Structure 1
Amino acid sequence: ARGDWIWFRPKKLEKLLNQQGLKGNSYSLLVGDLKDGLTLIKEAHSKPINLTDDIVPRVLPLPYNTISKYGKNSFSWFGQIPSVYITDPQLALEVMIKFDKFQKYFKTTNPLIKRISEGLLTLEGEKWSKHRGILNPAFQLEKLKHMLPAFHTSASDMVSKW
């Protein structure tokens, strides 16, 4: 029972993810994909990057590599914990709407990190529902249309400074 978390639980999770149509590397004892992730990070940071290059392969090399290899809905392993990547917009919307069915893994006890990282993506339950209710009106299409000139001006100013 004590050793279940080392092998049996991750293998069971892997089987469940595969049954749901998600693909990823098979679980490796204790480290998962961490070794591959570190190799990908070193490789990504060893090359120069241009302003016009896609930054995702450099900033998130393991998720980028996993999604490229296994598809839009895939997973990788951080030790014994699977990290699920959902890039299908409909499924991502479902995850955001059904907040009570999908637990978020990011937890911290450090009060500073907790305060900085607190937001819609990390909140759960009633706090998530309250914050989403506050933010929803700001993202209605009609309101965003009126903000386009400000977006354009801000982006133009930033690009001209480069």
Structure 2
Amino acid sequence: MVLGAFFATAASVPWRRSLLLLPTLVLLWQLCRLLHRLWWRPRCLERELRSKGLRGTSYRFLTGDLREQGRRNKDAWSRRLPLRCHDIAPRVAPLLCDSAREHGKVSLSWFGPIPKVTIADPELAKSVLSDKSGHFEKPKFPAMWKLLANGLLNHEGEKWVKHRRLLNPAFHLEKIKCMLPEFSACCEELVGRWTESVGSSEGTHEMDIWPELKNLAGDVISRTAFGSSYLEGMKIFQLQTEQAERLITNIRRILIPGYFQT
């Protein structure tokens, strides 16, 4: 319809002027698409979800809850976690915890212009995770996320069903039982390193165990997935960790139109 109007206009004006109209119409068309994606569609989805009874945060143009999430994360991480405190969820995911507390166990939040439904009800979450049809829509991750992972996390429909069927045998209970010796060996090496670092010192000893646990996870995955060549697996795991850190840094800093396309 727009092109028809353009050609009708071009027929009544000199050809040089019509050439100037074409970029203008293309620009207007792209602006309309952008406005629809960043404002009209999110607002329509928000009204539809709220009509179904979902409560949550309101959509903020372009950014959604990203800025608020960054602010709450910074505030939560600036406070020291008390010793012997096992309630780490408010520190790890403060926005999700606050949303569940304020809006209920099924709440609505925004990843940019993309609505995200968070389920904190164990029974409902179990129902979703046991689904074998792949009909539950996944969050739409930024296009650069595919550089890190492109699998079950973002597949849907028949493609998700196919990949899930391929992966299921690897997580069969009997196969996991066969991995127990590798699990035990990795844990024994970890405890041994801790014992050596503490030495014969008396009293308390403080240690940052986060990098140790990351190394433990990488060691376990490498030994079980790569077998005797687990050192090569550790190198791959370290490269993926570095790539994930850079990706998360870019997600927090970059926010441009079209960024949330997959």
TM-score in terms of structure 1 length: 0.71
Question: Residue in 2 aligned with 1:67?
Answer: 100
Q: Is 1:90 equivalent to 2:126 in the alignment?
A: yes
- Opposite residue 132 of structure 1, the aligned amino acid is R
Question: Residue in 1 aligned with 2:54?
Answer: 22
User: CA 1:48 to 1:25, structure 2 compared with 1: closer, same or farther past 3 Å?
Assistant: same
User: CA 1:51 to 1:114, structure 2 compared with 1: closer, same or farther past 3 Å?
Assistant: farther
Q: How far 1:43 moved relative to its partner?
A: 0.5
Question: Residue in 2 aligned with 1:10?
Answer: 42
Question: Residue in 1 aligned with 2:154?
Answer: 122
Q: Deviations over 1:13-47 (max 9, x none)?
A: 11222233422112234443233222201101211
Q: Distance in 2 between matches of 1:27 and 1:79?
A: 8
Point out where structure 1 has 5 or more consecutive residues left out of the alignment: none
User: CA 1:72 to 1:140, structure 2 compared with 1: closer, same or farther past 3 Å?
Assistant: farther
Question: Residue in 1 aligned with 2:169?
Answer: 137
Q: Is 1:105 equivalent to 2:140 in the alignment?
A: yes
Identity rate, percent: 41
Aligned counterpart in structure 2 of residue 81 of structure 1, from 114, 120, 130: 114
Could you tell me whether the CA contact under 8 Å between 1:86 and 1:92 is conserved in 2? no
TM-score in terms of structure 2 length: 0.48
Q: Distance in 2 between matches of 1:105 and 1:11?
A: 17
Q: Distance in 2 between matches of 1:19 and 1:144?
A: 44
Give the 3-state SS of the residue equivalent to 1:74 in structure 2: strand
Q: Distance in 2 between matches of 1:123 and 1:150?
A: 31
Give the 3-state SS of the residue equivalent to 2:115 in structure 1: strand
Q: How far 1:105 moved relative to its partner?
A: 0.5
Q: How far 1:65 moved relative to its partner?
A: 2.0
- The structure where helix makes up a greater share of residues is 2
Over the aligned positions, Cα root-mean-square deviation in angstroms equals 3.3
Could you tell me whether the CA contact under 8 Å between 2:108 and 2:116 is conserved in 1? yes
- Opposite residue 129 of structure 2, the aligned amino acid is L
- Opposite residue 89 of structure 1, the aligned amino acid is A
Task: Name whichever of 147-156 and 125-134 sits farther off.
Answer: 147-156
Give the 3-state SS of the residue equivalent to 1:84 in structure 2: strand
* Larger RCO of the pair (alpha carbons < 8 Å, separation 6+): 1
Task: Name whichever of 99-108 and 67-76 sits farther off.
Answer: 99-108
Give the 3-state SS of the residue equivalent to 2:42 in structure 1: helix
Q: How far 1:121 moved relative to its partner?
A: 1.1
Q: How far 1:151 moved relative to its partner?
A: 4.2
State which structure, 1 or 2, has the greater radius of gyration over its C-alpha atoms.
2
User: CA 1:106 to 1:51, structure 2 compared with 1: closer, same or farther past 3 Å?
Assistant: farther
Could you tell me whether the CA contact under 8 Å between 2:38 and 2:113 is conserved in 1? yes
